[in-house]
Amino acid sequence: MDYYLDLTVLPDPEFRETTLLGALVSKLHRRLVALEADDIGISLPDHEKAPPLGRRLRVHGTQTRLATLMQEEWLGGMRGQLEIALLCAVPADVLHRGVRRRQFKTNAERLRRRRMRRHGETYEEAQSRIPDSVVRKVKTPFLTVNSSSSGQRFSLFIEHEPVQIEPQPGVFNTYGLSREATIPWF
């Protein structure tokens, strides 16, 4: 991960920045699926300065891989709503950080419906096994994205782990997130 590309969402009077950022990540996801990419990661470098996530999506990878990513027109109509920076080398002596997906049990009704489908239970049985107390109030920022495999919209909770000195190798999913790998942080 020695190169990066910044995509910054421009202010829009009709859409919130998080809505546009979610659409951008959905488009990137579809492109990463098409490329069968497991070597491209993302970060949201402004998430601490401009909560909840900032306006900038940073895409990390090798120079060749990022050039391949940008080779085809995958941004579509969003191109006019973005500032697209040039492909740049990662500065020397940077720190590293994990950026990963977090999943939470945030909806008791959804969990009950799932249990009913999987175990053939009635609503009352599922309700007795899954009380309202399982619901967690989550403060982790999220984007609403579309899955290319199921076509469904869902909340993609994104967590930036603590900064560390040494990079950690690993693979990235098709949202550019990883359980084990880190990205350069600067």
Per the structure, how many domains does the chain have?
2
**55, 116: one domain:** no
- Note the pLDDT tens digit of each residue in 112-140: 888 899 999 999 998 888 888 777 666 67
Q: Is 60 a catalytic residue?
A: no
**168, 150: one domain:** yes
Question: 118 lies in which domain range?
Answer: 106-134
- Note the pLDDT tens digit of each residue in 26-45: 999 999 999 999 999 999 99
Question: What is the pTM (predicted TM-score) of this model?
Answer: 0.82
User: Which of 134, 153, 177 is the C-terminal boundary of a domain?
Assistant: 134
Rounded Cα distance, 173 and 36, in Å: 9
Which listed residue (29, 60, 96, 160) is catalytic?
29
**125, 171: one domain:** no
Q: Token pair of 182, please?
A: 């880190």
**70, 150: one domain:** yes
